[in-house]
Amino acid sequence: MTTATNSIYMVTMSAPTNIAVIKYWGKADTHYNTPINSSLSVTLDQTELRAITTIAVSKQFTKDRFWLNGVEEDELLHSPRFRACIEGVQKLAQDHYDAQGNLIYSKEDWKHLHLHISSYNTFPTAAGLASSAAGYAALVAALCQLYHAVETFPGEFSTIARQGSGSACRSMYGGIVAWRQGTPKQEWRDSKAEPVLEDWPQLRALLLVVSDSKKDTSSTTGMQTSVQTSMLLQYRAQHIVPARLQAMEQACHARDFGTFAQLTMQDSNQFHATCLDTYPPIFYMNDISRQIVRIVTVYNSWAGELRAAYTFDAGPNAVIYCLEQHQQHLAALLCHYFPIPKGALSGLDTSSMALEESLLQACNETGRIPRMGDVQTMYATKPGPGPLVVTDVCNLDPETGLNC
Ligand code: DP6
């Protein structure tokens, strides 16, 4: 051990959620946590939705400890996924010097030092809002910062986040991000995230929280059952996703929202079709989700073009992509049919937005009757950057290293 004192050294990082438009569903290798198809997602702005993780290291700590949303989680801390992230980053660690240039910890020291980790999500955990993606991305980003880790090839940090949760690899970058499936050679090191488009300035998203309770079937369990029982899933991975992904990347580069919207909705539909094709079947969408689909569909027909694109992950919550010029109108329409308590729409004001009679008439034909409470919260958001250093928040007490 070098000249380290008993003082606590800590860092805090935040990481975003991401919502896939070409879905990852099914593992090729459960040990390395690699997918049966490549996928593509939009990293969302961190203003409202993010995971914030503080990690501290000190010679005075006697064991590793981990708090998630204030609750100590020993089982998760010792899970193979969590350990894979810690050990993966430790392998890339470098020496740590203080401000005067004194060596405090050499890279060999790190693995003998215990960690205290505290992570908070600013949104419901495990409700299909990609909380594990943000959480594992924040964990890996904070470890990289703490250990001054250096990649040996581009995207290596994302291969570590992938071992925490597959979708987390895409949260390691901002904008529009692909997760390339990769190959088994060299321990799947090419199964990694790759930025596709840094920004699409007009792209927007509305997140409709239909339920913030924990989902019935976790993604990990659900996709294992789908791989074992759904022939549709195999067909999708081999024959549909490759061409669809290519078309989607082209649409993103061309900022062609119509094609982006069509492919997004088709892919969400197909993902949920593979869930139904699973035995026993998995139901992530519910009646409210389906009513949202109907309203979006009518909105697009009324507009005479694809202005809104719904997508659903492993839960009933909807994410609706649109362009900036339609976001307020679309939000007003959704707030009309799925009224939310005052103040539950963050990021947008719809009060001045009038809705056309012809649009309301068309939507009424779906049979949807506005009912308060079906949607609990709505977030108006847009694409954003990858993990960020946080200087104004710290989840651990700097004196004791305990959760605060
Ligand atoms: C439906 O990344 O949560 O959101 O790798 O087992 O942790 P694990 O799964 P996870 O699955 C996400 C599935 C999805 C689609 C997607 O994000 O691509």
Q: Which atom of ligand 1 is nearest to the CA of 24?
A: 18
pLDDT tens per residue across span 139-149? 999 999 999 99
Q: What is the CATH number of domain 203-381?
A: 3.30.70.890
Confidence band, pLDDT 50/70/90 cuts, at residue 1: very low
User: Residue 11: beta bridge partners?
Assistant: 55
> Which of 219, 221, 223 to mutate for ligand 1's pocket (most ligand atoms within 8 Å of CB)?
219
- Helix, strand, coil percentages, rounded to 5, for the chain: 35, 20, 40
What lines the ligand 1 site, CB under 6 Å? Answer: 20, 23-25, 33, 39, 132, 165-167, 219-220, 313-314
Calpha distance 208→201 (Å, rounded): 22
Candidate from 167, 188, 236, 263 with most ligand 1 atoms within 8 A of CB, to mutate:
167
State both tokens at 397: 């007490």
Which residues are CB-neighbours of 379 under 8 A, at least 6 positions away?
48, 49, 123, 206, 207, 209, 345, 346, 347
Instruction: Identify the residue whose C-alpha is closest to ligand 1 atom 14.
Output: 313
Kindly report the pTM of this predicted structure: 0.95
The DSSP secondary structure of 355-400, one letter per residue, reads --HHHHHHHHTTT----TTSS-EEEEE-B--S-EE-SS--SB-TTT
73 burial level (CB within 10 Å; 0-12, 13-18, 19+): middle
**Cα-to-centroid distance, 132 and ligand 1 (Å):** 8
Cα 364 to its chain centre, rounded Å, is: 33
> Ligand 1 centroid to 167 CA: how many Å?
5
Cα–ligand 1 centroid distance for 364 (angstroms): 35
Cα–Cα distance for residue pair 49/212, rounded to 1 Å: 14
C-alpha distances in angstroms, 23 versus 188, 236, 309, 314, 316? 19, 11, 14, 10, 15
236/35 Cα distance (integer angstroms): 13
Nearest atom in ligand 1 to 168's CA: 2
CA gap 201, 29 in Å, rounded? 36
Which pLDDT band holds residue 345 (cuts at 50, 70, 90)? confident
Q: Report residue 5's pLDDT band, with 50, 70 and 90 as the boundaries.
A: low
Query: SS3 of 109, please?
Result: coil
Relative to the CA of 164, which ligand 1 atom is closest? 7
In contact, 316 and 286? CB cutoff 8 Å: yes
- Strands 203-209 and 34-35, how do they pair? unpaired
What's the 43 CA to ligand 1 centre distance in angstroms?
Answer: 14
Burial class (CB in 10 A: 0-12, 13-18, 19+), 45: buried
Residue 251: closest CA among 304, 193, 301, 197: 197
Element (H, E) at 104: strand 103-105
For the CA of 18, the closest atom of ligand 1 is: 17
Q: How far apart are CA 107 and CA 99, in angstroms?
A: 17
Q: Is the pLDDT of residue 193 over 50?
A: yes
> Residue 108: how many CB atoms within 10 A of its CB?
11
CA-based max dimension of the chain:
74
Banded pLDDT at 215 (limits 50, 70, 90): low
Instruction: Return the structure tokens found at 180.
Output: 């390339």
**What confidence category does residue 356 fall into, taking pLDDT thresholds of 50, 70 and 90?**
very high
Q: Which residue, by CA, sits nearest to atom 4 of ligand 1? A: 313
387 is written with which tokens? 């993990």
Residue 133 to residue 139: CA distance in whole angstroms: 10
Give the architecture (CATH level 2) of 9-198. 2-Layer Sandwich (3.30)
Q: How far is the centre of ligand 1, averaged over its atoms, from the C-alpha of 49 (Å)? A: 17
Structure tokens at 230: 């759904």
Distance 229 CA to ligand 1 centre (A): 18
Shortest-distance Cα residue to atom 1 of ligand 1: 313
Residue nearest to atom 5 of ligand 1 (CA): 166
User: Residue with structure tokens 């927007």?
Assistant: 204
Q: Is the pLDDT of residue 93 over 70?
A: yes
Cα 165 to ligand 1 centroid, rounded to whole Å: 7
The percentage of residues in the chain with a pLDDT greater than 70, rounded to a whole number, is: 96
Confidence of residue 225 (pLDDT cuts 50, 70, 90): very high
Are 284 and 314 within 8 A, CB to CB?
A: yes
Domain boundaries along the sequence of the chain: 9-198, 203-381
Residues 53-79 pLDDT 10s: 999 999 999 999 999 999 999 999 999
The amino acid occupying position 211 is S
Q: Ligand 1: distance of its center to the CA of 345 in Å?
A: 26
For the CA atoms of the chain, what is the radius of gyration? 22
**Interface predicted TM-score (ipTM):** 0.99
Measured in angstroms, how far is the CA atom of residue 145 from the centroid of ligand 1?
Answer: 25
User: According to the model, what pLDDT value does residue 369 have?
Assistant: 96
Closest atom of ligand 1 relative to the 133 alpha carbon: 2
pLDDT at 126: 46
